[in-house]
């Protein structure tokens, strides 16, 4: 099961109509999703017009897509009104691959998502140490010429899952499906109104290393991909 399969299963099983994607690039995850109203946010889309048309022909839902060529923090800051009116039901977080940026993406999504909405995160289980390295962009990670580099980069996004578990406990249903670089699954169990970063928890989680994760994958509640059948 890949990210598109999981998102599509969520949309189908829950009957969702509104999809928000943070970090779209060429649209490999965005275009195939069958959902009525789709919104994409990325500061640098790589989608030629021809590709957009091709996907409208393949999947007519793409006719109604909205594109925001912005960083996610600017999108949420400047388009709060749009986001609260739109109220996404499923959000896919796949933007900047750092702990801080992915955490802010999840917290902002939690603010605007529909009551029974679900957040999916990509890259929550790094395939190797080099892939888990902190960097501010894929280019920066490549430039580091890391030992064991395989061209894969998840950054330290996994720490967002650890943070969410520690900060919200039973208020959130959080796990990582062990497939496609770790697919984070986040669903509210009860009302949450505190979306500010707790700096003490953040600092503590930020000190964790890749070895800590390998030694204890319960930190991110890593589960078999078939666990999805119990979630949905």
Ligand X SMILES: C[S@@+](CC[C@H](N)C(=O)[O-])C[C@H]1O[C@@H](n2cnc3c(N)ncnc32)[C@H](O)[C@@H]1O
Q: For the segment 168-197, give every residue that binds ligand X (CB under 6 A).
A: none
Site for ligand X in 110-149 (CB under 6 A): none
Q: Which is closer to ligand X, CB of 44 or CB of 115? A: 44
- Angle between the N-to-C axes of helices 199-206 and 158-168, in degrees from 0 to 180, rounded to the nearest 10: 140
State the nearest-atom distance from the C-beta of 136 to ligand X, in Å. 9
Angle between helices 99-112 and 158-168 (to 10 degrees): 50
Which residues are bridge partners to 121 per DSSP? 93, 184
Q: Which lies closer to ligand X via its Cβ, residue 25 or residue 134?
A: 25
Question: Is residue 156 at the binding interface for ligand X, with CB under 6 A as the rule?
Answer: no
CA 103 – CA 111 distance, rounded (Å): 12
Q: Kindly tell me which of 73 and 166 has the beta carbon lying closer to ligand X.
A: 73
Q: Which is nearer to ligand X, 123 or 165 (CB)?
A: 123
Residues 29-58, one symbol each (x = binds ligand X by CB under 6 A, - = not), give x-----------xxxx--------------
> Which region, judged by CB under 6 A, interacts with ligand X, from 53-61, 91-99, 175-183, 208-216?
91-99
Identify which range of 25-33, 81-89, 164-172, 175-183 contacts ligand X by CB under 6 A: 25-33
CB of 44 to ligand X, least distance (A): 4
Counting residues that bind ligand X (by CB under 6 A) gives: 17
Q: What is the CA radius of gyration of the chain?
A: 17
Pick one of 18, 68, 93, 94: the residue that binds ligand X (CB under 6 A). Answer: 94
Residues within the interface to ligand X (CB under 6 A): 3, 22-25, 28-29, 41-44, 71-72, 94-96, 101
């Amino acid at each position: 099961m890949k990210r598109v399969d999981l998102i599509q299963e969520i949309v189908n099983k829950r009957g969702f109509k509104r999809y928000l994607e943070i970090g779209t690039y060429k649209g490999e995850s965005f275009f195939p999703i069958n959902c009525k109203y789709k919104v994409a946010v990325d500061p640098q889309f790589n989608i030629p017009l021809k590709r957009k048309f091709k996907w409208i022909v393949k999947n007519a839902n793409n006719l109604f897509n909205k594109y925001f060529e912005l960083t996610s923090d600017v999108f949420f800051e400047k388009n709060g009104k749009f986001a609260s009116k739109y109220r996404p039901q499923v959000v896919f977080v796949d933007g900047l691959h750092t702990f801080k940026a992915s955490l802010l993406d999840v917290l902002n999504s939690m603010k605007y998502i529909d009551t029974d909405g679900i957040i999916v995160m990509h890259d929550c289980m790094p395939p190797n140490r080099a892939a888990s390295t902190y960097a501010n962009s894929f280019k920066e990670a490549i430039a580091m010429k890391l030992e064991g580099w395989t061209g894969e980069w998840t950054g330290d996004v996994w720490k967002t899952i650890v943070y969410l578990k520690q900060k919200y406990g039973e208020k959130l249903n959080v796990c990582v499906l062990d497939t496609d670089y770790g697919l984070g699954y986040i669903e509210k169990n009860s009302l949450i109104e505190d979306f500010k970063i707790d700096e003490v928890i953040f600092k503590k989680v930020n000190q964790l290393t890749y070895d800590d994760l390998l030694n204890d994958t319960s930190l991110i509640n890593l589960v078999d991909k078939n666990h999805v059948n119990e979630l949905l």
